[in-house]
């Protein structure tokens, strides 16, 4: 029987803490409102508004766009999406691509007097993109990637990204690099990913700077070089990238390319967490749970895990489950633990799948279900968890809920032993 004592997953083990994350596509990069003059609300007053109103009365499209901008953001006027829409429509009627883009933005976001409508957003972005308006090409590409307003079409998305990237739009260059890194809509090509990231980085795009660091950290198309990763992450962090801040924390947390320093890790995780990066909140929570670099504080850890979990972060969900399973920082509750493990397991977190399998195997707060337990162990093993691979070897060797099968047991033991699982190696010695 698999016993609770076999768990190796006390609130996020050191091996899991500080795992760097990288988000290859950031939808917030698309759909920006475009104003003819590079101004902000703080620089605008009644005099500018009156000048634009005079010019708009003569049909000046730039003035119409800028007035729409004022009413969308409420710069010196009451926010009024319907009023903004009217200004944008007047300019769009004259074939102005910028106004068409801004109408796409308005429908993608919705607002006072204008209902959100992805199909209309897609249609307006398409009109502007057909005129070569780079920001619309980017916005349209993101909609094609996510299936908003039209069926998903990663190939078309990549084509649009290239069109915008060729015009020098840094966010599009970054997104195209991310497409090459992931192989979404194009063949995976790390050299191409690096080239496009570097083009965006040359324009001080912080996410592209972080992306280059990630390629060096994980040897994606370049030799692994933690020092280089550190340099790129620092450059991105200096521009406020939460991804870079989190990944710097990961390097200090694991001692890769730098002396192990959990206190520095905590500082960088805290910076990224303060910017709303859920993975950083989960990572910082692990330090508080373990008392690494910060005073041990289970309640603080729980708060951080909750923040991460509420944003759908798989590690945060898993850690909350582990907290309820062990009763650290919260009252022990197997039912709630199971609920959080299920959420994390649905995102293919192998440790959550493992713990959930153990819960069903042992009937912890739920009726025993060996068949379901084995299925979860298999999912965890498929996702690379060596403990799950070892347990499956045990299940097939001794016939726990299945017919004994020595050859299948050996297959699983070999998989686990290949990752230096000591118990699996001992099992193989016993069988041979």
Q: What average pLDDT score do residues 9-33 get?
A: 36
For residue 117, the Cα-to-chain-centroid distance in whole angstroms is 25
How do residues 170-186 score in pLDDT, each as one tens digit?
A: 999 999 999 999 999 99
Burial letters 294-322, b for 16+ CB under 10 A, else e? beebbebbbebbbbbbeeebbbbbbbbbb
Angle between helices 278-290 and 298-310 (to 10 degrees): 160
SS3 content of the chain, % helix, strand, coil (to 5): 65, 0, 35
The structure tokens 């060797």 sit at 397
Cα-based distances in Å from 356 to 7, 337, 344, 359, 392: 11, 9, 10, 5, 14
Q: Are the C-beta atoms of residues 29 and 175 closer than 8 Å to each other? A: yes
Output the six-digit token pair for 352.
């959550």
Q: pLDDT class for 18, splitting at 50, 70, 90? A: very low
Domain residue ranges in the chain: 350-432
Quote the Cα angle for 38-39-43, to 5°.
Answer: 155
Quote the Cα angle for 6-286-378, to 5°.
Answer: 40
CA atoms within 13 A on the CB side of 406: 4
What is d(CA 114, CA 382) in angstroms, rounded to the nearest whole number? Answer: 47
**pLDDT confidence of residue 32:** 64
Output the six-digit token pair for 316.
């945060």
**pLDDT confidence of residue 13:** 24
What is d(CA 233, CA 250) in angstroms, rounded to the nearest whole number? Answer: 11
The structure tokens 């803490």 sit at 17
**pLDDT confidence of residue 77:** 84
pLDDT at 151 over 50: yes
Of the candidate ranges 51-55, 193-197, 263-267, the one whose mean pLDDT is the lowest: 51-55
Output the six-digit token pair for 260.
């192990």
The structure tokens 């099968």 sit at 405
- 46 exposed, middle or buried (CB, 10 Å; 0-12, 13-18, 19+)? exposed
Q: pLDDT class for 78, splitting at 50, 70, 90? A: confident
As its CATH architecture, domain 350-432 has Alpha Horseshoe (1.25)
The structure tokens 């197997």 sit at 334
Q: Locate the DSSP E strands across 247-374.
A: none
Q: What average pLDDT score do residues 231-251 get?
A: 97
* Mean pLDDT of the residues in the chain: 90
- DSSP classification of residue 282: H
What is d(CA 175, CA 180) in angstroms, rounded to the nearest whole number? Answer: 9
C-beta atoms surrounding 282 within 10 Å = 32
Q: What average pLDDT score do residues 229-251 get?
A: 97
pTM greater than 0.85 (yes/no): no
């Amino acid at each position: 029987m698999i016993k609770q004592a076999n768990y190796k997953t006390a609130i996020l083990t050191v091996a899991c803490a500080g795992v760097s994350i990288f988000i290859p596509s950031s939808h917030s990069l698309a759909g920006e409102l475009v104003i003819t003059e590079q101004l902000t609300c703080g620089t605008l007053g009644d005099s500018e508004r009156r000048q634009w109103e005079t010019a708009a009365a003569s049909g000046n499209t730039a003035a119409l766009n800028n007035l729409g901008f004022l009413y969308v953001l409420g710069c010196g006027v009451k926010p009024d999406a319907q009023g903004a829409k009217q200004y944008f429509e007047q300019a769009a009627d004259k074939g102005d691509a910028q106004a068409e883009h801004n109408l796409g933005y308005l429908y993608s976001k919705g607002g006072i007097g204008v209902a959100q409508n992805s199909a209309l957003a897609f249609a307006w972005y398409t009109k502007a993109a057909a005129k070569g308006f780079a920001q619309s090409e980017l916005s349209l590409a993101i909609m094609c990637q996510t299936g908003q307003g039209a069926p998903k079409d990663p190939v078309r998305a990549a084509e649009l990204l290239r069109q915008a990237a060729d015009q020098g739009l840094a966010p599009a260059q970054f997104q195209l690099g991310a497409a090459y890194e992931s192989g979404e809509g194009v063949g995976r090509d790390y050299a191409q990913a690096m080239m496009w990231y570097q083009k965006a980085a040359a324009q001080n795009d912080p996410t592209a700077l972080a992306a280059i660091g990630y390629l060096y950290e994980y040897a994606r198309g370049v030799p692994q070089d933690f020092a280089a990763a550190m340099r790129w992450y620092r450059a991105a962090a200096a521009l406020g990238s939460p991804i870079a801040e989190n990944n710097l924390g990961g390097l200090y947390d694991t001692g890769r390319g730098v002396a192990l320093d959990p206190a520095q890790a905590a500082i960088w995780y805290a910076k990224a967490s303060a910017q709303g990066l859920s993975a950083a909140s989960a990572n910082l929570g692990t330090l508080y749970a373990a008392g690494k670099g910060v005073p041990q504080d289970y309640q603080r850890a729980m708060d951080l895990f909750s923040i991460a979990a509420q944003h759908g972060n798989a590690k945060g969900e898993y850690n909350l489950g582990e907290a309820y399973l062990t009763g650290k920082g919260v009252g022990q509750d197997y039912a709630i633990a199971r609920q959080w493990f299920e959420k994390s397991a649905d995102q293919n977190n192998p440790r959550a799948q493992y713990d959930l399998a153990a819960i069903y195997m042992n009937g912890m707060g739920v009726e025993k279900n060996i068949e379901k337990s084995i299925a979860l162990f298999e999912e965890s093993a498929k996702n690379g968890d060596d403990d799950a691979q070892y347990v499956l070897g045990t299940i097939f060797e001794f016939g726990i809920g299945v017919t004994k099968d020595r050859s299948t047991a050996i297959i699983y033991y070999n998989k686990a032993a290949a990752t230096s699982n000591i118990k699996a190696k001992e099992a193989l010695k016993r069988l041979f």
